[in-house]
Structure 1
């Protein structure tokens, strides 16, 4: 893996497990300006189309006292349907975006750089079908100062990944 200093610890570890073959061999790490890490600013600054950029959001799904954290990935041109699709898929009575402090603490990643690569063990990973169909997708690296570029289909090979039709609109 090239440029491990540009990756959050859990992301570097996950990419290391992938190794140089398979999906891990297809991952590029690019250094970026952390001041423009947010998707719209990044797109404007670097001229990257939003339809090849993906966002990873952390959701807290509640049923009674039990809270399940999950990650959802959608193209930047869409929004994850948390209140209907995610809530039903996770069997929760209520689902909402996890608070920033919780998302950062649970993932070991920086807010604005959270990625599906290197999520905590056991977390569900819900992927919108459009992300998986994208030949090369730009997504966070776990840090605000860099991004990953990889085949969208490679994300479907991550632990606990599920491609969900209609996850995002």
Structure 2
């Protein structure tokens, strides 16, 4: 990778960020495959998606932010929700900042056109995504899942810190790049203030 490419790599906190596609060992297999496919159509992926190794005991957002000096508004927390209407189940990954929570009962339920929405059980979320609990990310999810991202990440200069599919590393990219991913739906007001 050229110096010009690594010069665009985002950094945050005190973690040692490296080009993600140069370190597939720090990515879950579906994440690495999705980033590679995306990089074929979006050159920014090579230059602006970073990965850093972390202590898996620090994978939870609050701990990670405290240990590494990371701002909570950059943390792109990903929760998986399912909703049902009749016999049809609809699954969505919802990405909001750590300063908010996904509005599952109102906003997400309506987007899924479901009578009720609830968090997907952990074992299903990990089994079906091929990712570890605490590392599920909006990159590389099953094709049938919708990926809803809060519009706060479209703000210029905002970074999105997220799982890598593994508990032992994190991904970092500009929020506008995440929002431009072909599988992402940007949703205004997806995250609501924690109360």
TM-score (norm. length: structure 2): 0.83
**Paired position in structure 1 for 2:28:** 8
**Paired position in structure 1 for 2:99:** 77
- The alpha-carbon deviation at position 8 of structure 1 amounts to 0.4
SS in 2 for 1:79: strand
Q: 1:1-47 deviations in whole A, cap 9, x for unaligned? A: 12100100000001111227133431001000000100001011111
SS in 2 for 1:16: helix
Task: Choose the corresponding residue for 1:152, options 175, 184, 193.
Answer: 175
Contact 1:19–1:25 at 8 Å: present in 2 too? Answer: no
**Paired position in structure 1 for 2:84:** 62
1:92 matched to 2:118: no
**Count of residue correspondences:** 169
SS in 1 for 2:161: strand
* Relative contact order, higher structure (CA 8 A, sep 6+): 1
Q: How do 1:1-169 residues align onto structure 2 when only pairs under 5 Å count?
A: 1-19=21-39, 21-133=43-155, 135-169=158-192
Contact 1:54–1:74 at 8 Å: present in 2 too? Answer: yes
- The alpha-carbon deviation at position 93 of structure 1 amounts to 0.7
Higher Cα Rg, which structure: 2
Q: Tell me, which stretches of 5 or more residues in structure 2 are unaligned?
A: 1-20
SS in 2 for 1:110: coil
TM-score (norm. length: structure 1): 0.95
Q: Tell me, which stretches of 5 or more residues in structure 1 are unaligned?
A: none
Separation of aligned partners in 2, 1:39 and 1:132: 21
RMSD over aligned CA atoms reads 1.3
